[in-house]
Structure 1
Amino acid sequence: MPKDILSTIQSEMSTFSKGQKLIAHFILESYDKAAFMTASKLGKTVKVSESTVVRFAAELGYDGYPAMQKALQEMIRSKLTSVQRIEVSNDRIGDQDILSMVMQSDIEKIHLTMEETDRVQFQRAVDAITAARHIYILGVRSAAAIASFLGFYSTLIFQNVTIIHTTSASEVFEQLLHIGPEDVIVGISFPRYSRRTVKAMQFAHDRGAEAIAITDSQTSPLVPYSSITLLAKSDMASFVDSLVAPLSLVNALIVAIGRKKNDDLSRTFESLERIWDEYEVYEKVDENS
């Protein structure tokens, strides 16, 4: 749609029926909660039928309620504060078993990521990383854990890896100072998106480097500066970022790279085994103790 859903609702308010206006006002006032409600729950909340909610979505030009719900979620993806996340999370969970709900949600995110990942883009990422003169990896806040995971295994395969550790924007540019057309940067960011990661991707892109974005949506601010985009579903309706699907995607990326660089990887582990034995890194287990 040419403008965001809230603007559309406001501009068409006068054309809505009485029931549709109830839905419209609720969405305008509580879009952070409406984005994660089923059509049935939204209808009960504003005291209209589920069919009225479905017709409202069609009135706005969406193929169905799920499409309208997705538009709402995309719009607020980077806007929810931590307090709003907690409120939305509490509303969604209600009296349900937290362990089951969270784990089931993670399973669904992995399934969606597996189905929607572009295999061509995935292979392009593998080829670009394998061929790079130097590999830069950046993730901030919760994404730092994924960047560290990718960086750890990348350093076992390649000798030319920089995991960008930063507490300020200036440090990012200091570590990216020599990036150029033969290099690759992997930027990892999920809502709420990191401005430092976006700026780093922009800088690398301007320098002619191959920029690989690992993010959640084509509307992510990383996408305009990336030549390769890998999408993984995340759940941002909590103060805790659920990054199971992104981690699984990165795991697959590492495995694919490892297979392509199998001989180098084998030599690395052979060397490590000799070092471990020579310097007795691991203590031998005393079977009699």
Structure 2
Amino acid sequence: MDNNSKDLMRIIQQKFSRLSKGQKLIAEYILKHYDKAAFMTAAKLGTSVGVSESTVVRFANELGFSGYPNLQKSLQEMIKNKLTSVQRIELSNDYISQGNALKGVLKADMENIRVTLEKINHNTFDGVVNSIFEARNIYIIGLRSSTALADFLGFYLNLILDNVKVVGYGISDILEQMINVNENDLVIGIGFPRYAVKTIDALTFAQNRNAKVVALTDSLLSPLAAKADYTLIAQSNMASFVDSLVAPLSVINALIMAVGLREKEKISNTFSRLEHIWEEYQVYDYKDKDKDNQ
């Protein structure tokens, strides 16, 4: 455990003797099952230990939190980079059953987008867009499940700009692909718990070479954020072995749109040429169009 987790657990242990009988039940449950408690509502936690929701709220207050959501957030910060895939599977079995998977996951993703809209800094977002246009070269790195996000961002930025490179696993090592990074360049790192070490290394490499660094991650406490000049926050909470990438992808869509709006004429010309290429080489299904022309 890190210092934050030790501090929280120590507070619970130190205050244990002064807690009420019901609060002690909550404390014992959290000490033993903090990974599950972190994703429980106050009502759910109360039901699990046999106390009322108000007792759970009073327990949070007794620990020095202004309310249960702050205690829950502290628990989530404590464990989010520690959960193994096996533990995530156990959590998903507890909170998302086969019968409610569709509704449960979609509702969780909706909440992630809602929280992201509240947390994201609009000035930071504008600063990132400006940095994209100021950069000589743009390097994008996202590994493991974040590879899909990096590829998506790279694909669309490459249609608008001509200085974008997606860095990833391949014949060359990741840092070899970034060997020429310097103070004129921008490096965009994408990563969510559990954070890929190679992504952190790449941002450290870029930072040491005075490149401007942007992190798209889940928290200002993220190891990616520690290396960044700009940090875009996107919530990815999901009590599951599947990472929730809906909110990060939405932020990426907004970035692409913001960049595109500054290059309207260029985009129009690019897509006009692409349409001819796509049709000539049958990239897409043009059967319906052919029927219309008959």
Fold conserved between structures, TM > 0.5: yes
Q: 2-side partners of 1:196 and 1:282: how far apart?
A: 36
Aligned residues: 287
Give the 3 Å change call, closer, same or farther, for CA 49–148 of structure 1 in structure 2: same
SS in 2 for 1:30: helix
Q: Which amino acid in structure 2 is aligned with residue 55 of structure 1? A: R
Instruction: Answer yes or no: is 1:198 the counterpart of 2:200.
Output: yes
Greater displacement, 181-190 / 266-275: 266-275
2:150 touches 2:166 (CA, 8 Å); kept in 1?
yes
SS in 2 for 1:61: coil
Shift of 1:9: 1.6
Shift of 1:195: 0.8
Instruction: Answer yes or no: is 1:7 the counterpart of 2:10.
Output: yes
User: Could you list the per-position Cα deviations for residues 184-226 of structure 1 after superposition, in whole angstroms to 9, with x for gaps in the alignment?
Assistant: 1110001111111111111111111111000111111101100
2:4 touches 2:78 (CA, 8 Å); kept in 1?
no
Give 1:242's aligned residue.
Answer: 244
User: Could you list the per-position Cα deviations for residues 35-74 of structure 1 after superposition, in whole angstroms to 9, with x for gaps in the alignment?
Assistant: 1112122122222222221111011111101110111111
1:191 touches 1:236 (CA, 8 Å); kept in 2?
no
Instruction: Answer yes or no: is 1:26 the counterpart of 2:35.
Output: no
Give the % identical residues.
52
Shift of 1:270: 3.2
Give 1:141's aligned residue.
Answer: 144
Q: 1-side partners of 2:126 and 2:286: how far apart?
A: 41
- Superposition TM-score, scaled by structure 1 size: 0.92
Give 2:59's aligned residue.
Answer: 56
Give 1:35's aligned residue.
Answer: 38
Greater displacement, 68-77 / 37-46: 37-46
Q: Which amino acid in structure 1 is aligned with residue 267 of structure 2? A: L
Give the 3 Å change call, closer, same or farther, for CA 103–205 of structure 1 in structure 2: same
Shift of 1:283: 7.2
Give the 3 Å change call, closer, same or farther, for CA 19–31 of structure 1 in structure 2: same
User: Could you list the per-position Cα deviations for residues 110-163 of structure 1 after superposition, in whole angstroms to 9, with x for gaps in the alignment?
Assistant: 122122211001100111012110000011111100100000001111111110
Q: Which amino acid in structure 1 is aligned with residue 178 of structure 2? A: L
Given candidates 112, 115, 123, the residue that maps to 2:126 is 123
Segments of 5+ residues of structure 1 without an aligned counterpart are: none
Given candidates 113, 122, 127, the residue that maps to 1:110 is 113
Q: CA RMSD in A?
A: 2.2
Q: Which amino acid in structure 2 is aligned with residue 265 of structure 1? A: I
Greater displacement, 140-149 / 21-30: 21-30
Give the 3 Å change call, closer, same or farther, for CA 28–282 of structure 1 in structure 2: closer
**Structure 1 residue ranges (4+ consecutive) displaced by more than 3 angstroms after TM superposition:** 273-286
Shift of 1:278: 6.2
Alignment of 1:164-179 (within 5 A): 164-166=167-169, 171-179=173-181
- Superposition TM-score, scaled by structure 2 size: 0.90
2:185 touches 2:211 (CA, 8 Å); kept in 1?
yes
Give the 3 Å change call, closer, same or farther, for CA 113–281 of structure 1 in structure 2: closer
Segments of 5+ residues of structure 2 without an aligned counterpart are: none
Q: Which amino acid in structure 1 is aligned with residue 291 of structure 2? A: E
Q: 2-side partners of 1:171 and 1:35: how far apart?
A: 37
Given candidates 227, 230, 243, the residue that maps to 2:229 is 227
